[in-house]
């Protein structure tokens, strides 16, 4: 019954209002993976289904966004551990012996795909009309990205390598986090009721887990999520039609904007080396794991 109600509400919302956005920009990742300390960036495309603000029960509002992320390949250049070489070579927890004098991490390729979904609920502390408001509320959501990693074709390491960290096979790292926090939602008319400026900001705490499929390694993580979104909203016409007790205000509109999102979790060292490495050796190598995207987008939508 509950699932049927959720599906019905979702379909009803799509019938009354919806907006589709396409975005392109830059995706950046730093830390988290064993041997990955430098910032890496690449291009990313986003596809979103959005309702930024819709009033219910007077000045109460809701909004949601479903976002699909698809990045190009992120390349990490090869380099050699220096400060941790002696520790790794003599650590009794390592399951593989070595006589190497340096520990080479091969050049790695990463690609990200995944879904980020958020629901916003709140109250307009200032509400003039549907185009002029300031709302405060809460955001709840889930992030479900996954990252495919593989040894780059231009890596100087190969399968016969004697490196202590193995051959670095292809792996998939799945991330699942839940978030809750605060949000602000603002819109103000600039030219009559044709052009408006809008801005949204959200900051949330998140918790979840990160799992790598090759060794079944699993990490519980805590962190933060923040997102800032500004844009222009243009509608060529707004008319009201009345049929008895029913009033409709159909709109076709376009948006253009910029959105910055940042996803951060506490220190982890995701092992994708192909070798079992004891947690006692991984812990001092853990780094904060940050992913962020800066995207310009345009959208089209409708509402009744």
Q: What is d(CA 274, CA 272) in angstroms, rounded to the nearest whole number?
A: 6
Q: What is d(CA 129, CA 57) in angstroms, rounded to the nearest whole number?
A: 14
Q: What is the pLDDT of residues 176-189, one digit of tens each?
A: 999 999 999 999 99
Q: What is d(CA 229, CA 50) in angstroms, rounded to the nearest whole number?
A: 12
Q: What percent of the chain is predicted at pLDDT more than 70?
A: 62
Beta bridge partners of 23: 46, 297
Q: What is the pLDDT of residues 249-304, one digit of tens each?
A: 678 899 999 999 999 988 776 665 555 555 555 666 677 888 899 999 999 998 76
- The domains of the chain are located at 2-303
In this predicted structure, which of 229-233, 241-245, 268-272 has the lowest mean pLDDT?
241-245
pLDDT of residue 69: 94
Q: What is d(CA 160, CA 151) in angstroms, rounded to the nearest whole number?
A: 13
Mean pLDDT across the chain, nearest whole number? 77
Average of per-residue pLDDT across 19-48: 85
Q: Which residue has the higher pLDDT, 275 or 131?
A: 131
CATH hierarchy code of domain 2-303: 2.40.128
Least Cα distance to 255 among 33, 19, 36 occurs for 19
User: DSSP characters for 9-45?
Assistant: HHHHHHHHEEEEEEEEEEEEEES-BTT--S-EEEEEE
This prediction's pTM: 0.79
- ∠ at Cα 98 (93, 100), nearest 5°? 130
Q: What is d(CA 214, CA 220) in angstroms, rounded to the nearest whole number?
A: 17
Indicate if the pLDDT at residue 195 is higher than 90.
yes
Beta bridge partners of 241: 248
What 3-state class would DSSP assign to 275?
coil
What 3-state class would DSSP assign to 89?
helix
Beta bridge partners of 72: none
């Amino acid at each position: 019954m509950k699932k049927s109600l959720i599906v019905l509400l979702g379909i009803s919302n799509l019938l009354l209002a919806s907006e589709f956005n396409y975005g392109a920009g830059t995706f950046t990742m730093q830390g988290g993976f064993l041997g990955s300390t430098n910032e890496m960036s690449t291009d990313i495309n986003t596809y979103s289904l959005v309702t930024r603000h819709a009033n219910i029960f007077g000045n109460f509002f809701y909004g949601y966004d479903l976002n699909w992320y698809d990045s190009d390949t992120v390349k990490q250049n090869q380099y050699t551990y220096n400060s941790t070489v002696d520790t790794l070579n003599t650590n009794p927890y390592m399951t593989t012996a070595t006589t190497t004098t340096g520990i080479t991490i091969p050049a790695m390729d990463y690609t990200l795909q995944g879904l980020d979904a958020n629901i916003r609920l709140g109250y307009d502390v200032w509400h003039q009309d549907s185009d002029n408001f300031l709302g405060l509320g809460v955001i709840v959501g889930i992030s479900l990205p996954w990252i495919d990693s593989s040894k780059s074709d231009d890596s100087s390491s190969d399968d016969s390598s004697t490196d202590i960290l193995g051959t670095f096979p292809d792996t998939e790292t799945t991330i699942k986090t839940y978030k809750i926090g605060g949000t602000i939602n603002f819109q103000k008319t600039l030219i009559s009721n044709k052009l408006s400026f809008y801005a949204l900001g959200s900051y949330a705490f998140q918790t979840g887990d990160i799992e790598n499929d090759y060794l079944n390694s699993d990490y519980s993580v805590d962190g933060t999520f923040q997102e800032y979104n500004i844009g222009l909203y243009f509608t060529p016409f707004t008319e009201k039609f009345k049929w008895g007790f029913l009033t409709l205000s159909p709109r076709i509109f376009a948006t253009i904007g910029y959105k910055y999102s940042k996803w951060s979790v506490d220190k982890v060292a995701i092992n994708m080396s192909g070798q079992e490495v004891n947690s006692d050796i991984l812990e001092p190598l853990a780094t904060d794991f940050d992913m962020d995207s800066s995207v310009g987008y345009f959208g089209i939508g409708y509402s009744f």
